[in-house]
Amino acid sequence: MSEAEARRDLAALRRLPPLLQSRRGADPWTARLAGIELHAGIGYADRAGAWIAGRGQTPLLITDRGMTDAGQVDVVWNSLAAAGLEPIVVDEVTENPTTEWVEATAGRLRDEPIDSLVALGGGSVLDAAKGLHLLLTQGGKMADYWGYVETSEPMWPSVAIPATAGTGSEAQAYAVLSHPESGRKMACGAAGARYSAVLLDPSILATAPPAIAAAAALDALSHAVESLVSRAATPTSRTLSLLAWHLLEPAWEEALAGSESALGRMALGAHLAGAAIEQSMLGAAHAAANPLTARCGVRHGVAVGLLLPAVVRFNGADSEVASRYEALGGAATLAARLQEIGRSLGLPDGLGALGVEAGRWAELAALATEEWTGTYNPRPLTASDFEELYRGVA
């Protein structure tokens, strides 16, 4: 994205969209960010068919059983069918999908006449769909895309409909999938894997179970904070991070109480934080959280939510790094606010309450040092530093 394009996109985003005062029947807000068509409005998920029509005939609809049970798959399927399309539905995605599952599903679908993609769900669904998109259009195995590659074959028109305000995966070119044996997160990316369009619909977010919605909110907030101070942050990514924080931080409480207007602000904030990550990456909270998810089964958003205040304090001990938190009130104030939000969202008192034994700190710390996200933390960490972080949230 050029500087001129970035300035244009950010100028449009600063004109706070009608989504922030969402009401049913209002015209949707439309913008473009980093090449993605962004459409937002209550009930807008049923426009998926209108977007795909003329671009494809047989869309692959990727989702999970929760979306099916909540009736949201019917909304999207009916939209596609009303547009004369013949969708193929896969609703088997589970939390933290593995590369093995993506490869097996791609093998099962390879002979289908698929020519477009619709992903409806949380981050796991959006990532699994990106993985399938790569394998079904480019071939190979997911390991071939670990890191970032250039695609050689055309990719499909694709639409994402996020069901949580959390990962921001719909704004990114990476599919984050789990290794089937180690559980380690693999970021597999290609420019063509980024969704062509995103439909942000607060009524879809309202169906998320409370625990999942709370963990997603913690994840989204952490993305705004870590991307802001990342070593790779740019003026554009920092602007996106700040816009995301100022949408997310005041809205989470009303959103979890069911306010569609607040859910709209959360949806947009999570998307902007995801767009910031695309340019700046993350930091030590995510590096330390990933082993907790892979080895101890701690939900990702919960792990990040517990660790982030400690990481902010660790970073803030360096005066140069501390200055980067000034836009969010300073390191000490921010860490305290993050802890307050975590308590309000029902975070446990510590890792012990989640069944993580104190004797595992060295093992987890060694794994955390191998996480690529940690290399972008503004203050470098050793294995001993990670051990101290874990002890601090024990």
* Strand duo 59-62 + 116-121: pairing: parallel
Q: What is the pLDDT of residue 14?
A: 54
How many CA atoms lie within 13 Å of 289's alpha carbon, on the beta-carbon side? Answer: 25
3-state secondary structure of 40: strand
Ranges of residues in the chain with a pLDDT under 50 are 1-3, 16, 18-21
Q: Which of 242, 272, 269, 283 is nearest to 34 (CA)?
A: 272
pLDDT digits 0-9 by tens, 22-50: 555 556 667 777 788 888 888 889 899 99
Q: In sequence order, what are the residues at sequence separation of 6 or more whose Cβ sits closer than 8 angstroms to the Cβ of residue 125? A: 62, 63, 64, 67, 93, 119, 163
382's torsion region: left (phi>0), alpha (psi -120 to 50) or beta?
Answer: beta
Q: What is the pLDDT of residue 29?
A: 67
Q: What is the pLDDT of residue 87?
A: 94
pLDDT digits 0-9 by tens, 247-304: 899 988 888 888 888 898 899 999 999 999 988 899 999 999 999 998 888 989 899 9
Q: What is the pLDDT of residue 143?
A: 87
Determine if the pTM surpasses 0.95: no
Q: What is the pLDDT of residue 150?
A: 84
Distance CA 252, CA 263 (A): 8
Distance CA 245, CA 237 (A): 12
CB of 154 closer than 8 Å to CB of 98: no
Q: What is the pLDDT of residue 13?
A: 56
Q: What is the pLDDT of residue 18?
A: 45
Q: Map out the domains of the chain with their CATH numbers.
A: 3-208 (3.40.50.1970), 223-232+281-392 (1.20.1090.10)
Q: What is the pLDDT of residue 21?
A: 45
